[in-house]
A and B are shown apart, each in its own frame.
Chain A
């Protein structure tokens, strides 16, 4: 245990993250996420078809005009999937930092006193008592479906994960000799916490971020699936997929592209998280 914590705070930690990523696992994850994200970012360049323009050809198979075919309203699936990836990434990249920031602030608050610690822990328990989608249902019950409810739900769902990781890290680090030395040297508690303990406690959060991103794709998809997500006609991966379910028996090709993109994103983030984790533990 001692050696594990020692290596964790060695100055080569950044290198360890990197060496974790430079394994087949990390590289596959990066390639998957990179390919999907690039497709989403370059959507306006890759296709000039309007993702919401309806055409006469409904549920057509792949063709030269429509590489992935069309949906039930005759909209081009290639354009919808590419723009859907863009929407997904925007939502997730907005929500995850908010959740991380709130979780980490709560963890810092918990480090100030015993009472604050108790209060913060109960708050995390309370959030965890509304597992993922249930939280989504509660928030949507108040705000109605839409873009912001999705962001809020993802952010709220990420708070306990980040908060508990950082709290555990702080608890370990502030008992170490350097923290004691800083206290003996006359640094204020706030300075010890922010300048000495915090920088050493944030490493697990890198892994947590990758996990959080995959959870984000997960929640967006689930909420869209239930009709609680971004309002139509704006495409998201989840909404295209949920639309395709009605036509599974007759037009299974409809589901192929959103299935592939969602799986690639979540699998990619999971592989990156695992690679980072192994890199740190080694």
Chain B
């Protein structure tokens, strides 16, 4: 554990630091001055200068960067430029909805991929194997904005079963909230589920070809027990790595899915931030995404060592 942290933590922190620097620098490359655009077209030079010093834009680049990091670490993030309100409040408002969506999708990813992979790896029937193959390829090949449109067409427009978009708090109206969540979560989960299912299926197939499986079979262990107790656990570590990488895709996909289903989350916020050029919002959200991604990668590596004790960090 200690060696693991010593080995992985520095490089994770380095990526985080580099990313924060990249985000900060990229947003300073933007042509035009946020203070001028904030002050409006008829503002006097004095007003612009006042706004600039209020935002700290008149200070050297490095002290701006250090100031930003310091404010982030102290939890006082500061106001947004264009959207209005404190950035922390804006993020707080969207965080719940986005967490609901991505965690729901993550759960679905596992629930869809696991049976598909097990059935695909163990079936002896050619048609079943072909169906699993076709489903994973087909689903993988359809972008979420296409699945989203198709889902709305079928379940909202034709069948009228589910609302086409919107959001309800899970705490206030659990029934309604699940109805609202269903399509966005499925839409977000499908591509990642297909990827995970393929890797997991490959892993189980490889594990089933190992000697210990033959030995277990010879000893009379049931097929079911072999698959679930011997093959699957051995296929899990690499599948966890894939799942960790897919979390990044889920976060990115959430921006799109939130747009399609009018889901009031962070994706909508960052989109607004980009379109209205609200740099604090964009800057903080980008860093948040990277931080989540880096943390997930760390957890993935941790889970990996836990699932496969043969791997040691020396």
Contacts and interface: CB of A to CB of B under 8 A. Distances in A.
Contacts of A131: 248-249, 251-252, 289, 293
Q: In the complex, which range does the number of interface residues on chain A fall in?
A: 35 or more
Contact of B149 (A137, A241, A267): A241
B166 to A, nearest CB: 14
A122 B14 contact: yes
A222 interface: yes
B91 to A, nearest CB: 15
A126 B149 contact: no
B161 to A, nearest CB: 14
* B18, B137, B252, most chain A CB atoms within 10 A: B252
A122 B251 contact: no
Interface string B272-314: 0111010100100010011001100000000000000000000
A51 B256 CA distance: 26
Contact of B249 (A129, A132, A141): A132
Interface stretch (A41-49, A91-99, A178-186, A243-251): A243-251
Given A138-B26, A141-B27, A274-B137, A130 B143 contact: no
Nearest to A223: B256
Interface string B139-174: 011111110011011001100000010000000000
Interface string A129-143: 111111001101110
Contacts of B289: 130-131, 134
A132 B255 CA distance: 11
B140 A126 contact: no
A129 B145 CA distance: 22
A134 B23 CA distance: 11
Contacts of A214: 141
A60 interface: no
Contacts of A252: 153, 157
Interface in A213-268: 214, 217-218, 221-222, 225-228, 238, 241-242, 244-245, 248-249, 252, 255, 259, 262-263, 266-267
A259 B149 contact: yes
A245 B261 CA distance: 10
B30 interface: yes
Contact of A222 (B11, B164, B256, B273): B256
B30 A142 contact: yes
B22 interface: yes
Contacts of A267: 138, 141-142
B145 A241 contact: yes
Nearest to A143: B30
A101 interface: no
Contact of B275 (A132, A225, A227, A244): A227
B11 A122 contact: yes
A205 interface: no
Interface string B247-278: 01101110110011000000000110111010
B29 interface: yes
Interface string A103-139: 0000000000000000000100110111111100110
B15 interface: yes
A270 interface: yes
A280 interface: no
A137 B269 CA distance: 11
A271 interface: yes
A226 B255 contact: yes
Nearest to A264: B141
A137 B279 CA distance: 12
A241 B142 CA distance: 14
Contacts of A228: 274-275
B145 A141 contact: no
Contacts of B270: 137
A248 B256 CA distance: 17
B252 A132 contact: yes
Interface of A: 122, 125-126, 128-134, 137-138, 140-142, 214, 217-218, 221-222, 225-228, 238, 241-242, 244-245, 248-249, 252, 255, 259, 262-263, 266-267, 269-271, 274
Closest 8 pairs (CB-CB, A-B):
A131-B248, A131-B252, A267-B141, A270-B141, A133-B252, A141-B274, A132-B252, A129-B290
Interface of B: 11, 14-15, 18-19, 22-23, 26-27, 29-30, 137-138, 140-146, 149-150, 152-153, 156-157, 164, 248-249, 251-253, 255-256, 259-260, 270-271, 273-275, 277, 279, 282, 286, 289-290, 293-294
7 contacts: A122-B15, A134-B255, A221-B146, A226-B271, A228-B275, A245-B152, A269-B141
